Amino acid sequence: MTDSLNKCKANETAACCCVDVGTIIDNEDCSAEYEHVFATESEAQQKLASLTQAAKDVETEPCKIESNIEKINDGFKLSVKFTFCCGAECMIFQLKLR
């Protein structure tokens, strides 16, 4: 059993192969990005509004939101970066979008 523990990067317990949550959610990555091309600028703005509301539903401290809608050949490209105060909020936000 000791050999299998040495091969693992996460700190596991021999009893149940559990990992410390800090091994998975380490608060190093607190940002989520979204990018999509829409047919109209209105559709892009509606999606931005819904994403912003989803972020606000999750945040405990204000989420930093950087967004851009640009006209391209195929339509309007929405690019958004959400930066949360912790990795758990970022993960919850991403899961809510699935």
Point out which residues pair with 36 in neighbouring strands. 78
- 23-60: buried (b, 16+ CB within 10 Å) or exposed (e) per residue? eebeeeebebeeeeebeeeeebeebbeebeebbeebbe
Domain positions in the chain are 26-96
Place of tokens 């021999």: 14
Which CATH code, of 3.30.70.860, 1.20.272.10, 3.40.50.10300, 3.40.109.10, is assigned to 26-96? 3.30.70.860
pTM above 0.85, yes or no: no
Q: How confident is the model at residue 93 (pLDDT cuts 50, 70, 90)?
A: very high
Q: What is the average pLDDT value for the chain, to the nearest integer?
A: 83
pLDDT in tens, 5-52: 444 445 555 556 665 555 556 667 899 999 999 999 999 999 999 999
